[in-house]
Structure 1
Amino acid sequence: MDIDQVIDKSRRLEDLLRQHYHAKGTDFTQLVHSCDNRFPDDIVNKLNKIATIRQQIMMTDTSMSASNDYQHFIDLCAECEQELMPRSSRLVWGVAVVLLGGITLAALGFYLYHWQHITL
């Protein structure tokens, strides 16, 4: 595993923490600790493990030699990324907005058509 891949994978997690959970900090560990009360303990432990692995690789300036370590790091990143991703997608929100707008326009059209027949 190359150092660039470690940085890329952890950067993606950092971006998710900043964008969706409003995490504050300069490094990965600070970001995790600033919003760790929002996550279950197992996710926080996985994020801390990723931070530890990243820090070890950056300090030693070597690549991960064992394929078992590489696969473990990849699995941890994938699990955390899946957990940190927001549940609703843009498609769901788009459908909700279109339905709400359609119902509002239908009600508006109904009242405009029948307005002259309404007596108070």
Structure 2
Amino acid sequence: MMDIKQVIERSHRLEDLLRQHYHAKGTDLTQLVDSCDNRFSDDISNKLNRISLIRQQLTADDSLISDANDYQLFMDLCAECEVELMPRSSRLVWGVAVLLLGGITLAALGFYFYHWQHITL
């Protein structure tokens, strides 16, 4: 069963990702993709343009154009594009952050343990 509300929410989620993480400019998905097209591979650009086209077809009042196959294709493409567009932090960055935070904490604990008897309030 096709849910128009779900179609609109998924496409707005993609539009928000493009605006927030890729600084895309425009009012609809097609304009947003065109404004930052050079940042994506041709595969992602084609998928995003296909999503825009299917959304227009699904939200049209013509029931002949809107069918379950288009809806399922739309949902699959949206899921793939969301995974591709979501920024990912590398494990190295997180590892360095945890190591640095742990090192500073251990250094502070060592300092207070060593100097605790000399501290007066």
Equivalent residues of 1:25, 1:34 under 8 A apart:
yes
Residue identity over aligned pairs, in percent, reads: 69
2:68 is aligned to: 67
Equivalent residues of 2:55, 2:74 under 8 A apart:
no
In 2, the alpha carbon distance for the partners of 1:100 and 1:69 equals 49
Would the alpha carbon gap of residues 70 and 57 (structure 1) be closer, same or farther in structure 2, given more than 3 Å must change?
closer
Q: CA deviation at 1:104?
A: 5.2
Given residue 53 of structure 2, which amino acid in structure 1 is its aligned partner? T
Q: CA deviation at 1:56?
A: 2.6
* Aligned-residue RMSD, C-alpha: 2.8
SS at match of 2:78: helix
Q: Which segments of structure 1 move beyond 4 Å, counting only runs of 4 or more?
A: 62-65, 91-95, 104-110
In 1, the alpha carbon distance for the partners of 2:105 and 2:43 equals 47
Equivalent residues of 1:3, 1:62 under 8 A apart:
no
1:55-90 CA deviation, whole Å, 9 max, x = no partner? 2333x235674322221111111111111011228x
Q: CA deviation at 1:28?
A: 0.9
2:44 pairs with 1:43? yes
In 2, the alpha carbon distance for the partners of 1:67 and 1:92 equals 43
**How many pairs were matched up?**
109
1:99 is aligned to: 99
In 2, the alpha carbon distance for the partners of 1:55 and 1:37 equals 24
Q: CA deviation at 1:54?
A: 1.4
SS at match of 1:45: helix
Unaligned ranges ≥5, structure 2: 115-121
1:12 is aligned to: 13
In 2, the alpha carbon distance for the partners of 1:73 and 1:106 equals 51
